[in-house]
Amino acid sequence: MKRILSSLVLSFFYLTTLAQQTEFSFGAYRTLMHFSGSGSAGTTSVSSTPFNRLANPYGTKNGSSFGFFIQVQVINKHNFIAGLQAGTDQLRSKIQVTRYTTSASWDTYYANGIVNQDNQYINANPYVGYRFTFGKMSLDALVGAEAGFQLVSNIEGFVKNENGQQYKVEYRFDNLKTDIRAKAGFAVHYDRISLNASYAHGFTDHGDGTSVAGPRGAYTNVFRFGVGFKVF
C-alpha cells in the first residue's frame, strides 16, 4: 500500500505539470459499509459482563449512511487525470444478535436484535484516472488510495429475549484507527452535474485487539453513490 500511495503522489505531481484543465467540485453521497475477513460475522452474542457488550462487533451486513466531499482535479491534453478528494462520512455496519449471556450463571439464552457500529471519518483520497468523452457527456475512471481518520466509533442497538424483555447495547471504542483503503470508482459528467460511484476496501485490521477484545481480521468495505456539482 505504501508503494501504491507513493506512486499516486508522484503521478499526481507529474500530471499537474502537464495540466490543461483544472476542475473544482463538491457533492454528497450515500454510503453502504460492512466488514469482511475472518474476524467479521453475520451473527453474534451479547454478554452482560462487561455491561451488554458484543462478542463480535464487526458485522457483515451493510448499514446505510451519508457523507460529503470536495475535490480538485487536473486533466492534461491526453485526458489523464490526477486529483485529490477530501470529505467526511459516517460509515455504519450491522450485525444480528442471536444470543444473550448472563453474568450471574453464564447461561446463554435466545435473543434477537440488530446492533449498529457507527464510525465517523475524515477522508483524504489522492487518485489518478482517465476521462472518456461522449459528445456532451464524459466518464472519469478513477483509482487511488484513501486514508480514513476515525473520529468516533460507537456501538448502539436493542436486543430482546424470548420473553420480550429489551436490553440496550451502547458503548464507545476509545482506541480509534486510521483506515487505509484502496479505492476505485467512476464519475459521469453532464454540464456541471456528475453522478459518482465508488468502492473502497480497507487494509487496516479493526479486529486486532486494540479497539476491543475480539477476533482478528475485520476489514472495511465501503460503497458510495452520490452526486456532485462542478464550480469551475
Q: Pairing mode, if any, of strands 80-101 and 43-47?
A: parallel
Give exposure, 98-128, as e/b (b: 16+ Cβ within 10 Å).
bbbbeeeeeeeeebebebbbbbbbebebbbb
Q: What is the architecture, at CATH level 2, of domain 2-230?
A: Beta Barrel (2.40)
Euclidean distance between CA atoms 206 and 120, whole angstroms: 14
Q: Are 181 and 35 in contact (CB under 8 A)?
A: no
> What are residue 5's phi and psi, to 5 degrees?
-65, -40
Lowest mean per-residue pLDDT among 9-23, 30-44, 56-70, 95-109: 9-23
**pLDDT tens readout for residues 81-103:** 999 999 999 999 999 999 888 76
Lowest mean per-residue pLDDT among 41-45, 69-73, 123-127: 41-45
More confident residue, 107 or 60: 60
In the chain, what percentage of residues exceed pLDDT 90?
A: 63
pTM above 0.75, yes or no: yes
Q: Are 70 and 26 in contact (CB under 8 A)?
A: yes
DSSP symbols for 123-169: EEEEEEEEEEEETTEEEEEEEEEEEEEEEEEEEEEEEEETT--EEEE
Euclidean distance between CA atoms 7 and 84, whole angstroms: 14
Q: Residue 12 pLDDT > 70, yes or no?
A: no
C-alpha cell, 153: 466509533
Q: What is the mean pLDDT of residues 211-224?
A: 80
**pLDDT tens readout for residues 182-210:** 999 999 999 999 999 999 999 999 886 54
**pLDDT tens readout for residues 148-190:** 999 999 999 999 888 888 888 999 988 888 999 999 999 999 9
> Domain residues of the chain, as ranges?
2-230
Give the containing element (helix H, strand E) for 44: strand 43-47
Name residue 63's amino acid.
Answer: G
More confident residue, 101 or 75: 75
Euclidean distance between CA atoms 51 and 159, whole angstroms: 13
Residue showing cell 488510495: 145
Q: What is the pLDDT of residue 211?
A: 45
More confident residue, 114 or 53: 114
Q: What is the pLDDT of residue 21?
A: 87
Q: Are 216 and 210 in contact (CB under 8 A)?
A: no
Q: What is the pLDDT of residue 198?
A: 98
> What are residue 9's phi and psi, to 5 degrees?
-65, -45
